[in-house]
Amino acid sequence: MRASEIRRGQAVIVDGKLYIVTNADHNTPGNLRAKVQFKMRDVSKGTIQDKRVGATDDIQTATLDRRQVEYLYSDNDGHVLMDLETYDQNNIPRKCSATTSFISSPTPSSWRCFTRGRSSPTKCPRRLI
């Protein structure tokens, strides 16, 4: 997808990492080449990164599925969450710090995003396009 078509809330893959676009600004400085500046949140780490690309550059997008899951148990590999729709069990590595806040929350079920069949370690963004 062209960079000028990316909107806020979309999931993109940049340098092999999954990001959620939090802001996209399209700039055309006079007679120079148009640029798009993205502010993106890294899904695995939660950090914010700025990225500037040409408006006609291709950006790889990703599809996120939003599913309700429930915490089941923890083992040596990590934490096991069950999809409440299909009853599939997904393992989230113990090293993910965002998982700790999910497990210590008062309600045992929450919404998670899945891409390529794997759960993301952080909660879904509020707005998905």
Q: What are the pLDDT digits (tens) for 44-94?
A: 788 899 999 999 999 999 887 777 888 888 888 878 888 888 888 888 777
Host H or E run for residue 71: strand 65-74
87 and 52 housed in the same domain: no
**Threshold 0.85, pTM exceeds:** no
The residue among 21, 38, 62 that closes a domain is: 62
Two structure tokens written together for 27: 């700039």
Domains contained in the chain, number: 2
Name the maximum alpha-carbon separation found in the chain: 59
CB 62 within 8 A of CB 113: no
How far the first Cα of the chain sits from its last, in Å, is: 14
Q: Are residues 57 and 69 in the same domain?
A: no
Return d(Cα 37, Cα 60) in angstroms, integer.
Answer: 16
Residues 96 and 110 in one domain: yes
52 and 73 share a domain? no
Q: Once rounded to an integer, what is the mean pLDDT over residues 99-110?
A: 50
How remote is the C-alpha of 70 from its chain's centroid? 19
For the record, the structure tokens of 21 come out as 């676009």
Does the residue 23 lie in any domain?
A: yes
